[in-house]
Amino acid sequence: MSLSVGIQVNPELIQLGLKAVIGEIDTNIKVVLISDADSLLLSTNMGDFDLLIFDISTYRKLVQNCGLLKMGLCNKPYLVCGEADTEEKSLPSGVVFCSLRWSLSQIKERVLQLIYSQKEQLGDDGSEEITSRERDIIRDIALGLSSKEIADKNFISPHTVITHRKNISRKLGIKSISGLTIYAIVNKLISIEDVKNMEL
């Protein structure tokens, strides 16, 4: 099962950027760009999306004009994008926020968290099962080990590590180390404390 994400963010250039970020995370995710807030409100297909990403003005419109979010009619996970971190303080707790002034890696991490939590909720953990050896490799990659260090630690050749990395990327649709790190945290292969300790 692949996820379907609806994006309504202005300007269109930011929409295209978010679509590209999602494409880097997982090429199997279907992304639909929605032209404006009114189109989203009038959309009879809003329920077809597994996730929604919209800007803060659309969020306010959904809450004030029709109460979709307050009444729980839009019970899909959503990400609200804004230009300033101060806008996050105006949102109720539990609303996932992403500042468009953040770095690309910060935005990608926030989108990854939302996507993987939704995949986990839907029971979509990839078309193929990750082996215990691949879980070990993911953990080591997320902890910052090089292919040679992983090979030495697991008593395998560096070529075998590269093969495992290719298989992991194919199975999960994740092509970046930051993506694998988020996957490892969400799936409890490592803890956030492990990542924080790496930075020291």
Q: What is the pLDDT of residues 165-200, one digit of tens each?
A: 998 988 888 888 888 888 888 888 888 788 777 765
Supply the pLDDT for residue 126.
Answer: 46
Supply the pLDDT for residue 72.
Answer: 46
Supply the pLDDT for residue 122.
Answer: 62
3-state secondary structure of 200: coil
Task: Among 26-40, 56-70, 173-187, name the most confident range.
Answer: 173-187
How many CB atoms lie under 10 A from the CB of residue 137? 27
For residue 120, is pLDDT > 70?
A: no
Report the Cα 118 to chain-centroid distance in Å.
Answer: 9
For residue 74, is pLDDT > 60?
A: no
Distance between CA atoms of residues 140 and 107, nearest Å: 24
N-terminal to C-terminal alpha carbon distance within the chain: 39
132-199 CATH, one of 3.40.50.720, 1.10.10.10, 2.60.120.10, 3.30.1490.100: 1.10.10.10
Q: Which of 10-14, 17-21, 82-86 has the lowest mean pLDDT?
A: 82-86
Domains 4-122 and 132-199 share a fold: no
Supply the pLDDT for residue 41.
Answer: 63
Secondary element (H or E) of residue 33: strand 30-33
The domain limits of the chain are 4-122, 132-199
Q: 146 or 121: whose pLDDT is higher?
A: 146
Cis amide linkage into residue 11, ω under 30° from 0: yes
Virtual torsion, Cα 103, 200, 196, 115, nearest 10 deg: 30
Supply the pLDDT for residue 43.
Answer: 57
Average pLDDT over residues 83-89: 75
- Homologous superfamily of 4-122: Response regulator (3.40.50.2300)
Q: 174 or 87: whose pLDDT is higher?
A: 174
Q: 179 or 161: whose pLDDT is higher?
A: 161
